[in-house]
Structure 1
Amino acid sequence: MPIIAATTAALPAVMLSSLALAQPATALPAVQSQKIPASLTAAMRAQAAAVSANVIPASAVAATIPAAMQPMAPAAPATYTIVRGDTISGIAARYGLNTNTVLQLNGLSGNTIIYPGQQIKLTGSAPAPSAPAPAPSPASGPASSSTASYTVVPGDTLGGIAARHGVALSDVFNWNGLNGRSIIYPGQKIKVGPGTNAPAPATPAPAALVPASAPAAPAAPALANTGSYTIKSGDTLGGIASRLGVSLSSLLSANKLSMSTIIYPGQRLAIPGAPAASAPAPAPVSAPLVPSTFLGYTYPEAVVSSANANKALLNASPVPSTAQMKGIVADTARRMGVDPSLAMAFAFQESGFNQRAVSPANAIGTMQVIPSSGEWASQLVGRKLNILDPYDNVTAGVAIIRALVNTSKDLNTAIAGYYQGQYSVSKHGMYDDTKAYVASILALKKNFS
């Protein structure tokens, strides 16, 4: 009896259950008839054979989904209006189109920024590339620049223009005195074929600089006798050199500049080769894009200089409209768990939803984020943010609002921290202008709710 008890106690519960239900006469032979593998290798082989016996042969499985069962892609409309979150590749995939085809159809490149509300074409044919201007015959003189030039429209890039006209991007650079960092603007004329004539300027030259009765005979290059040139919005150093008939290297040398130097509207350039005697008397310096003082405080020269450079870049770049920026702010706030009405109140108070706004303190864009705060916001979201980019600018502002709300004792203190700085508020309390700022944000929040 003790031996039997020890044997049954060693059996698993599931085995005891099976033995209890089986008839004594059949249970023992069933157990004895099982063939136990002689080794672990033999057991693994037996198991593999049992599994493979239940596998459907590959030849019996269809390699592709039958055409009748495949989902149909929706028919592509002639035009499509961009909504928040869209990408060109995503739109192309949705309608079963090729991404490169959609890009070429709209004259876009892979790095072109698209905005909600923008319309793109999904059907049709891409514009045929313009034929290069024929080489001038000795009798006919230089080819007209109108046969080998293109007028820039919103959304254009130099790479897209070159591809559309079937020419190399390097040739476009050479023909126009441009480079990979040059900024182009709507209305600007770009050479897309070889020729001797420079593209016509986007805006007419000032009457005082170009004589009304300019003779057809060879003369000094236009504007060269002034000895200086005032930069306008959209200008590039290469374009200025080409337009004034001087070499880019001599223009850079005369002004102690380099190819990486940022220029801005209102800046004056010395024109090389102009007679010293004819140079005009020094003119008063044009008003900068961003002043150096605000509310009685004068900012350091380096900060104001950086603010002017950023303002010039934003002025020369396409940005979303006010209505589009409202949508971007509200959508970003919802996605990041911030009350949209609060984020919109900050955006309206700071800039009026204007991405081109830059303050003397170098606070940039819709949310008026200074570069150091942009670095902090980058750490908050876990990626590098470019606060000149409208989407990243809003992301930075909303990330800062979220951090202030989460670490302040109440909403009013969080709002004050955005304006005065969280540490300053905790140490000194709210200044009078900070209290007015908080009251304004709370009132705007109600309006946007």
Structure 2
Amino acid sequence: MAQQNAVQQTPFWYNFLLICLKPLYRWKIKQRAESDALYQQECVERFGPFQPPKNLAAIWFHVVSVGETNAAQPLIEHYLKLGHPVLVTNTTKTGQARAKSLFLKAPYLDLFQAVYLPVDQKSLLKQFFELYQPKLLALVETEIWPNLIAEARQQHIPCILLNARLSEKSAKGYGKVSRLTRPMLQQLTWLLAQDKATQQRYIELGLDRTKSQVVGNIKFDITAPQQFIEQAEQIKQDWNLLGRQIITLASTHAPEEENLLKQLQQYLNSNPYLLCIVVPRHPERFEEVYKACQSLNLNTQRRSLKQTIQADTQVFLADSMGEMWLWYALSQACFVGGSLNEPGGGHNILEPMVLDVPTVIGPRYFNFQTIVDEFVAERAILIGENAEQITAQLLNCLNDSTQRQQLIEQAQVVLKRNQGSLQKHIQLLDHYLKQTDYS
């Protein structure tokens, strides 16, 4: 594919800063690594020498973490089913675990590969591109890296930002480094925005208006993997959960778990049928959350120890990765975290909605403002101002069948109204894939 514009090099200060931060980055990887072997593996993928590719000319999706992986799931699955090789890179350990749990299995084993994204240094990215030789680079949501985009342009590879979102707060941050942001956005091949506000923010930061369009949020087209629905049904039978009332606290941050469990404690102690599943957002906090459960004298079982939910279990700590769909499928009500803590921002509310799970969030959900606002307008979600109010709302969802059904029905109205973005994404990707075939 012909190069439309000359490659604009990133500023010296940016590349010098990356060199200075590299030792700190290695230290951070070591701190969170579960073993020396996993530390070495991640360092190899971040800093080279890189893993050999399973396939050349793959469609490369870069997704930061769990939320972006879930957003890209239907797209990745579409191309794998067509027989296209797919490479996924992640920034976080949870994101990579999620990608592998979805696709590193039959019938996609030979077509799918997931590795960490290399550090955004010119030399490393040049090596990575030349080794993997991707056909197209698809960045998901807000994961934009200056040298990554510049190298894609250098290699004449289409670089598209999919399902793009950008909050007002994030836009202000990018605006403070306009000498870095503007050239980066000018080198994108195309941008598909979730909404007009996002599109306009990117344009004001330097994106060419003619290289963008608003197509809605691909997350509305997501479907729950059948394997987790079936697994949940089996667990209900095997662990005798059919008579339990189950609340899930999902994607939680400190101090959300402790604050909510303190409010739930009296109800867990007085109602033997009530069960709370806690799914912390970050694996490095698993032990911390377990200790919080112990400090409240709540009978807690752990997924990482292969423990099962017993008749007297009050809290089940889902200290695993890649199983969020499973815990939602077991729930009758849920709280989606990252919305009660400071500064907050929120996480994806659509996964529980798809599974007809009434959903409660806290007041700080600016990362998903547009989505949440639409559900609020239809009275399809509950928002609590504090842990006490959220607890009351969760218990009402369990005990008031009329309210629970209304929330489910209204959520389905919003979900169905917003579907269709997936096909628009596929049309654009197919357009550029055909161009690369002929170049």
| TM-score band, normalised by shorter chain | under 0.3
More strand per residue: 2
Q: TM-score, normalised by structure 1?
A: 0.25
Q: TM-score, normalised by structure 2?
A: 0.26
More helix per residue: 2
Larger radius of gyration: 1
Comparing both chains, which one has the higher relative contact order based on Cα–Cα distances under 8 Å and sequence gaps of 6 or more?
2
